[in-house]
Structure formats: C-alpha cells, structure tokens
Amino acid sequence: MRLGFANCGLAKAEPVADRFAARFRRWLELDYCAGMDYLRRNVEMRLRPDLLVPGVKTIVSLAMNFMPQSRQPAISLYAQGQDYHDVLRSRMRQLMQDMSLEGRCFVDSAPVLERYWAWRSGVGVFTQEGGFISVPGYGPTVFLGELFLLQEADHYDSPRPSKSPLEGDFASSPFFKGESERVRREPEGVLVCPALTPDGLDARRCISYLTIEHRGPLPDGLRLGPTFYGCDRCLRATPQFAEAQPTTEPAFQPSPSLLAMTPDDWPALTEEQYRLLFKGSAVKRAKYEGLMRNIRHWKTNHL
C-alpha cells in the first residue's frame, strides 16, 4: 500500500465474541494486567465498539511492518526507530482523508482489543508462541492500528484459515495463552518463560512489562537477556518469525548513534545523551530513570 501498510481487513463493528470476552474478564480477575490499571477501566467499552464510538459500523484493522534492517541489541525490535504511535496515526489520518472516511483512528490510544480485531478481520493469524498477530509474508513483527468508521462496507473479511489447532481461539492471544505453551523452542534452544500461563500472559512476570511499564525496582533475580528495554524472546520463538522481512520504512530504522552504543557505553548514559538518542522514540515511555534502572539491573543480572 502507498501509505506503507502491510495489510488491512474489515470487520463488522459487533461486540467481541462471548468466549473471548469471558477470557479477557478472567485474565483481569487474575491480576495478570499487573500495574496496567487502564486495562481494568472501560472493560465494557473494550468489548463493545459502539460504546467507544457511537454509530460505528465498520472496524478496519491495519498492520505496518516494523522489522528494522539493523538493530541495537539492547532495545526491543519494535522500538529501534521512531515512536510507532505517531507514525501509524499520521498514516491512518492520511488514509481517512484520502478516502473521505468518517470515524476515528486508534493506535493503542483507546480501549480496543486490537489483536482480536486483526484476527477477526483476517489481517493475520494468532501465533501460538506469545499470541502475536502474524501477517502472511511479514510475520509477527507488525504494529496494529484500527479505524472505527461510521460507514457500512460493501464487503467484510473473515478470519484466515490456519493449520494452528488454536486457530479461531483467543487462547493463543497474549492475554489468553493456551495450555501446554510454557515451553517453546527458539532457534538456539528452549525458551521457558514463567510469564506464559494457561490463563494468559502474566504481566507481573513478563520482562517486557517490567522493563517498560513497571515503575519501581525490578524483582530480585530477574534475568534479562541481551535486551534491557523490552523482550523479544517469545516473538522470535514463533515459527512465523522466519517470515519477517526488513522494512524499508525509514521511521523504523535505528539511528547510527543508537547502533553505535556498546554494552560498556550504556551505564554511563547521561540524561542529555538519552534525550538525543531517543528523541521521538517509544523508549521514552520508560523515562530516563526507568532506563537507567534497567541498565543497572542488566549489568548485574545478564543471562
């Protein structure tokens, strides 16, 4: 697509199907959302698109490839370049303007079950490892955004067929992890992650959550890999990761100065360097204090 999207799909703006809604509620009851209290708010709105945007008829799910051409290993793949919220939002607004669409666009900015809608509209399939959405030809390294449109569509898409036994089941989503998935293969061996439970991803034990969203000290003994901002291990463990194609999108490439950082440079990172290095980057979510906390922990608890 001209605006850089890897795929898009259309779904009727109906309430989220009962079995998926029930699993989401269960996941919240178990406290697996940890400190992400915004997930506890507006639960009904998250499950009923018409409560979020009255009069919504169509949900368009859009995916954009973020796989960078090179990477700084200390930072998760998705955060190598510019903040995806800004990039996707501006492209989606452009799309709405070009096509005279009425409605609203969201990129992690409202109570929307984005992976559900990507699955429901046929944009991709759930991966069994980590419950990502994998787009055929691009793999699971995609950002998702949604348009909530007031117009009806002439045609709606269906979920894609898949060989996965979990196809069509939200058990494979990040919130709703399926059973027998605690151990999964990685190219270099076996990944065992205690955050992956039969009832979903327990954010309280997830390195990605802890190093990005969590405020306060990291748990004693938490073992980080080569990455101290986020964690790509379950993403890389998906068979579909082999489909990931480096994007030509300039916004998602790391800067030369980020690439040049070595493990020995990070502990001495000053606030001024941090501001320059991560200008316009999603890494700023952790703030300087949070990033330095991660770096200190990483230096002493590196796998």
**Closest by alpha carbon to 57, among 4, 14, 3, 120?**
14
Closest CB to ligand SF4 among residues 140, 159: 140
Minimum CB separation from ligand SF4 for residue 76, in Å?
A: 9
Closest CB to ligand SF4 among residues 114, 249: 114
Closest CB to ligand SF4 among residues 24, 78: 78
Closest CB to ligand SF4 among residues 127, 162: 127
Of 50-58, 152-160, 192-200, 281-289, which part binds ligand SF4 (CB under 6 A)? 192-200
Minimum CB separation from ligand SF4 for residue 201, in Å?
A: 5
Of 18-26, 188-196, 246-254, 266-274, which part binds ligand SF4 (CB under 6 A)? 188-196
Tell me which amino acid residue 26 is. Answer: R
CA distance 231 to 129: 13
Contact status: 201 vs ligand SF4 (CB under 6 A): yes
CA distance 110 to 103: 14
Contact status: 131 vs ligand SF4 (CB under 6 A): no
**Closest by alpha carbon to 105, among 71, 144, 156?**
144
Q: Which of 65, 208, 238, 240 binds ligand SF4 (CB under 6 A)?
A: 208
Closest CB to ligand SF4 among residues 75, 196: 196
Question: Residue 119: left if φ>0, alpha if ψ -120 to 50, beta else—which one?
Answer: alpha
Total number of residues that touch ligand SF4 (CB under 6 A): 11
Closest CB to ligand SF4 among residues 83, 181: 181
Contact status: 75 vs ligand SF4 (CB under 6 A): no
Minimum CB separation from ligand SF4 for residue 234, in Å?
A: 3
Minimum CB separation from ligand SF4 for residue 9, in Å?
A: 25
Of 26-34, 36-44, 131-139, 226-234, which part binds ligand SF4 (CB under 6 A)? 226-234
Contact status: 206 vs ligand SF4 (CB under 6 A): yes
Contact status: 233 vs ligand SF4 (CB under 6 A): yes
Closest CB to ligand SF4 among residues 13, 195: 195
Q: Which of 49, 130, 159, 290 binds ligand SF4 (CB under 6 A)?
A: 130
Binding site for ligand SF4 (CB under 6 A): 130, 193, 195-196, 201, 206-208, 231, 233-234
